[in-house]
Structure 1
Amino acid sequence: MPANGGGAAHAIWVVDLDVAPGELFALLGTNGAGKTSTLEVLEGLAAPSGGEVRVLGLDPLRERAALRPRIGIMLQEGGFPGELTLAETGRCWAGLTTGARAVDEALDLVGLLPRRTVRVKQLSGGERRRLDLAMALLGRPEVLFLDEPSTGLDPEARASVWRLIRELRAAGTTVVLTTHYLEEAEELADRLAIMHHGRVVTGGTVAEVLAAHPARIGFELPERTGPHAALALPVLPGAVPELDGRRVLLRTPDLQGTLTELLGWAARHRVELARLDARSASLEEAFLAVAASADPAAAPVAPSQIGRAA
């Protein structure tokens, strides 16, 4: 799906994705990677220069009139008139929405019902994002597109929005979101893709993405063992040690196996491993690895490599 959103340069070179019904799919990427441009093509707001795009079996651009009542869109900025109250904004939006739910119901979903008589211009940034979400939910969408839904939200509001998104997914709504909050993707996504320079570089479930990156075990040997004690460490298959004096960092594809071997060795030799820390790779590490090393000319990841939907 090459696309440029009408500009002279391509924002997206190749994106090939399938999203299953009822799935929450997160689209991640560095700034300028093409996340928002990809959503705009899926939403029918921009035309692809090649390839095929189908949402609910429909072309989002040519069959927009048939598709629009079945999707909800939360843009990065809503741009609602500041002089209108939340209730007035909802009534205006409901008038343009097929089968709209009650405005107060939509406001209540995002915790804004007590603010229904407040003007939009008086809302905080986080409240405006929740209003954007409420308007996206007015039509009871089958597919919901969320572009940076948590921007500007405080931790309590973010947790509330996450809870609502989970409830929507549990009720059968398909959700496609972009986010810069990696924790958000880890918490919510059934599958995800990471874009870089307009291409999908890696994708799959969170576990599949993290499996490509080694786990880490860090510890410090006792001072009495001397600066070369690390040389006496056992051979741990697949583990790559990094030494800094008595501090040892092991990178391993088998966290449990390596840790079991290491602790057994320490117990047999009565060695205390100070400041022991063992953890799997994080989504942040996977993201930073993509940002640091992805070749813009590299072949894109095919849908089969990120879990093609049936």
Structure 2
Amino acid sequence: MSNLNIKSTIRLASGYAMPLLGFGVYQNYTAKASVLEAFKAGYRHVDSAQAYRNESSVGEAVRDSGIDRGDLFITTKCISKNHGYESTLKGVDESLTEFGFDYIDLFLIHNPHSGNERRLATYEALQESSKAGKIRTVGVSNYGVQHLEEIRLAGFAMPAVNQIELHPFCQQRPIVDYCQKHSIVVQAYCPIVRGEEGKMYHPVVRDIATKHAREPAQILIRWSLQKGFVPLPKSATPSRIWSNAQLYDFALDMEDMDKLDGLDEGKDGSISWNPVDVP
């Protein structure tokens, strides 16, 4: 992983390339300025959602950036209250309108709370939207092994991506192992533990940061990259947007990685909703 750079990508099962570092815009309701700053810092991958209520401002940033749309990778998601076949088809069109795009790079089922029947209907609708050219890649978020298995057992193509809470304190190893076995790329949300002091400044993280003369957030994101995940750090602060992208002139050694791996608290280490166990 020492040859990574901010332009590094991973090839998805859909055949498209996704940048390994993403920029999250959760709770950033007027995201345009932050997204433009992220583009200046080198990010080319933005993670939005219908529930974030900022698809339109992300779309404005894309148009105002001057960057070719084909060089950017934009994600959105449909939340469980809007699940269902027809409502998902409608929601895809609404997201395209909000963004002002002809296509969306990655469309995720945001969470699994709607139950088996509606989850599968939603997934089928996203597959249909992909065939129609409205979506390039279909994936899921907050899916546990049981949710992924229901897709497989229903005979659908497996999702290309599963976005889950992931950081040294919440490593979700059974889900990660399943995804790796089935060529599902794992995206890591909350990679810098939302700045929670007890975790961000845990002695192990702090000592490794001191060793490398880095910020704790950089250590946590670098861990994620070296584990083969796609981290999605978020910030609205320009200095942190830049700092969170400065990851490529150092690497964590095996001892560092082992120490960080040893911080896993299972689901008890979660700092978000992390609904991977819902029926």
TM over 0.5: no
Could you say which structure has the higher helix fraction? 2
TM-score scaled to structure 2, two decimals?
0.36
